[in-house]
Structure 1
Amino acid sequence: MSNYIDLPMSGLEGPLTEMEQAVQDMCHRFAVEEIRPIAVKVDEMSAQEAVAADSPVWNMLKKSKELGLSISAMMELEPNERSRLMLIACEELAWGDVGLAGMILVNQMPALYSALAGRMDMVEYCDGKLGCWGITEPDHGSDMLDPVNANVADNGKYGRANCIARIEGDKVIINGQKSAWVSGSMTAEVCALYCHVEQNGEIKPGVTVIVPLNAQGVTRGKPLDKVGFRGLNQGELYFDNVELPIEHMIIGPEDYAHQVYETLAEANVHVGNMAVGIARAAYEHALEYAHERIAGGQVIIKHQTVKYRLFHMFRKIECARAMVRRAGEYNATAPSAALQGSIAAKVTATQTAFEVASDALQIFGGNGVTKEYPMEKLLRDARASMIADGCNEFLALKGGSLLINPDLVN
């Protein structure tokens, strides 16, 4: 008698609701039919070719709107229901390809961050438009995630910002640049721009502005050529006296630090969730291959070392998914999001993705390092996830600073 259980896509998680199951099935089908067929092609294109007019990415983005995962639609749901649906959906999309899944997710960010700011008018303005999130700068990478200077080195200074806004009457005027790591910048129509602000001659964090990228004074650099997440275009944005109505500023200086906190709490959970998709894809490829590949006179899954390796891959994925979903549920239902929980989920899941992808490649042996098989690409994607939305080392420091009880220290 066999004790084998064919687990569902969500592994050991409890039963999904009827809506959750429908969304999972829809997104899995989209990953199979739309994402995976073009993922390898896009991965092999140059960065410029991947965003050219004839790139298959454009058609994929157009079809992704049929998934019905707009922020306006999601905001009609209860917070925890909304959080679970988005995590279930995006894990399936990332299982198809994390770069292209990232494209679908980042398009929602201007609307999502407008919703976090309580600006439903700007949610309506952004919904249906391709979007991006601009925060990192050439001289300030993960530093931009620390507007309260909690992680600044002893006797250190972050230095002058590269992108600065100033408020003049009923207008906001933006000058400077954002770095080449602005996700979706080459295809976006609107940007959720997080930048410093100049007030009374002082430059400080900051404001959040919804910037239409066809506004006068906005230009784009060239797309970034990188190791992983190649389906997710990234590139510089430049602002030369870009003048917008003050209504496009969704967060002012007094609330900026809180907005960055809430934004990172949201974004880190999603990056961790997509890393679970990478890990699951690598594990499933390795599990299937281990049932087919013969070495030592038998299929390799019967070898003790392969069974041992596959079990620990399975264990790590289940732990990472549980942590991501747990952090998402807490943040959706608690009075205030716990950023340390989001960071823990992101760091755990991305580290898991890298370890699982590496082990999966080892099971493939020599075949794993060839482009005939998906393993080397999954390893590249997993490695890139450990830097996305804040490198894991910086995030760990930031998470640690959130554990300090101010009532117990000077």
Structure 2
Amino acid sequence: MAGNADFDLFRTNEDHEALREAVRAVAEAKVKPFAAAVDEEARYPQEAHDALVAADFFAPHVGEEYGGVGADALATCIVIEEVSRVCAASALIPAVNKLGSMPVILGGNDEIKQRYLPDLASGKSGFSYGLSEREAGSDTASMKCRAKADGDGWVLNGQKSWITNAGVSDYYTVLAVTDPEGQRGNNVTAFVVEKSDEGFTFGEKERKLGIKGSPTRELHFDNVRIPGDRIIGKEGEGLKIALRTLDHTRVTIGAQAVGIAQGALDEALAYVKERKQFGKRIADFQGIQFMLADMAMEVETARQMVYVAAAKSEREDKDLSFFGAAAKCYASDVAMKVTTDAVQLLGGAGYTRDFPLERMMRDAKITQIYEGTNQIQRVVMARQLLKG
């Protein structure tokens, strides 16, 4: 399935590693000190936001022609991975900016790109993604949100659920049915909705298990008028653009999962080398060493899968759907397992908020759910396999 591999793209280059050092320095100095309070208070990580904007890590994927740094897919994954090591909620800032804007990048015309991408690149405005609804999660084609043609524009009615960074972002890619009688899957169109649009409001913040610093809210549309020039791509192409977007951005969720798992492993390693029982460090017990070895092996396997998928995303390889789904699925399962094992290695201490591992364990769970549950990832992979 891999085809003729360009092996240079399967390893990081000097620029990627220099980027990793730069992001890690920002994350350690400007993100980590606030991570516990952000979680405890369930507040938006403004300190991380400001630091990411200042360092050009807010939306690193945006091309240079729009004022961005033009980071490739692997570089963007490294940014997300390194921020996730210390705060998964903060890592959703660059991750969701990519998710929200990828439909514009993949399907938008030059005019709509020039209108929205420079603000995103500069950090002036964030971008969120409105696909899921209360009754249309995994089954996206059954959405009920409607956009009705009205003169030279559209009128939008309905709602979207589980929208990351809702209320913070200024721009929203929103998918709506534009032809209720049309063929399922080919009757959905993508639009850009602006926070200031009349009739566009937000629901209350969801009370969540993890990633508490990233607000998750519903979007509500009550006769929201959308000018005709805010269509992304062509009428009826919305779901195709949305699913192409997910092929690329599932890779970034894999990167978030790798970062969470690596952060948990780092914390566990530091603890077992200091903690003593029965007269010696618990790191010297073979049972502990085997746990650590398994954790490190799984994290590294997940990282390699994510990096390969990122290389395929950059090249837009035909087998990206399989590799993106596989990387997201495997890495998120690893994040859940490794964070759980890390809590176990700290024993009672791991269960307290004095250490970040219980937060990492709670944060890891969502990576198995959003941007397509891991059950859906397996459906995607199986379809690709059966297609040959």
Fold shared by both chains (TM-score > 0.5): yes
Query: Aligned partner of 1:134: which letter?
Result: G
1:16 counterpart = 2:10? no
Compute the displacement of 1:199 (Å). 5.5
Cα distance in 2 between the residues matched to 1:74 and 1:324:
20
Q: 1:366 to 1:200 in 2, by over 3 A?
A: closer
Give the structure 2 partner of residue 373 of structure 1: 355
Distance, in Å, in 1 between the alignment partners of 2:57 and 2:111 is 18
- Give the SS at the match of 2:209: coil
1:351-392 Cα deviation digits (max 9, x unpaired): 000111111111101111111111111111111211121111
Question: In the alignment, does 2:372 pair up with 1:390?
Answer: yes
Q: What is the deviation of 1:266?
A: 1.2
Query: In the alignment, what sits opposite 1:215?
Result: 197
Q: What's the CA shift for 1:109? A: 3.5
> What is residue 405 of structure 1 aligned with on the other side?
387
Moved more, 391-400 or 294-303: 391-400
Cα distance, 1:118 vs. partner? 4.2
Within-5 A mapping of 1:55-204: 57-69=45-57, 74-76=62-64, 82-126=72-116, 127=120, 128-144=124-140, 147=141, 158=142, 161-179=143-161, 181-198=162-179
How far has the Cα of 1:304 moved from its partner? 0.4
1:31/1:96 contact within 8 Å kept: yes
Name the Cα RMSD after superposition: 2.3
- Pairing of 1:235-314 with structure 2 (within 5 A): 235-314=217-296
Q: Corresponding residue for 1:359?
A: 341
Residues 80 and 329 in structure 1, CA contact (< 8 A), matched pair in contact too:
no
Secondary structure of the structure 2 residue equivalent to 1:198: coil
Output one character per residue of 1:80-114: Cα deviation in whole Å (capped at 9) or x when no partner.
96112111111111112111111232134433321
How much has 1:302 moved relative to structure 2?
0.5
Q: Describe the superposition over 1:333-365 as per-residue Cα deviations: whole angstroms up to 9, x where unpaired.
A: 245462121110000000000111111111101
TM-score (norm 1): 0.84
Q: 1:254 and 1:16, CA in 2 relative to 1: closer, same or farther beyond 3 A?
A: same
Contact 1:107–1:184 (CA under 8 A) maintained in structure 2: no
SS in 2 for 1:348: helix
Specify every segment of 5 or more residues in structure 1 that has no aligned partner in the other structure, as ranges: 1-12, 52-56, 148-157
CA distance in structure 2 between the partners assigned to 1:70 and 1:380 by the alignment: 24
Preserved contact between residue 189 and residue 239 of structure 2 (Cα < 8 Å): no
TM-score w.r.t. structure 2 length? 0.88
Secondary structure in 2 matching 1:175: strand
Aligned length: 369
Residue among 310, 325, 329 paired with 1:347: 329
Which 10-residue stretch deviates more, 58-67 or 353-362?
58-67
CA distance in 1, matches of 2:347, 2:256: 25
- The answer on whether the counterparts of 2:101 and 2:128 sit within 8 Å (CA) in structure 1 is no
Matched, 1:326 2:308: yes
Deviation per CA, 1:64-87, whole angstroms, max 9, x where unpaired?
21222465874249x996112111
Aligned with 2:148: secondary structure?
A: strand
% identity of equivalent residues: 26
SS of 2:48's equivalent in the other structure is: helix
Contact 2:64–2:70 (CA<8 Å) still a contact in 1? no
CA distance in 2, matches of 1:38, 1:87: 22
Paired residue type of 1:61 = H
- Where structure 2 has 5 or more consecutive residues not aligned to the other structure, the ranges are 1-9
Q: Cα offset for 1:201?
A: 7.8
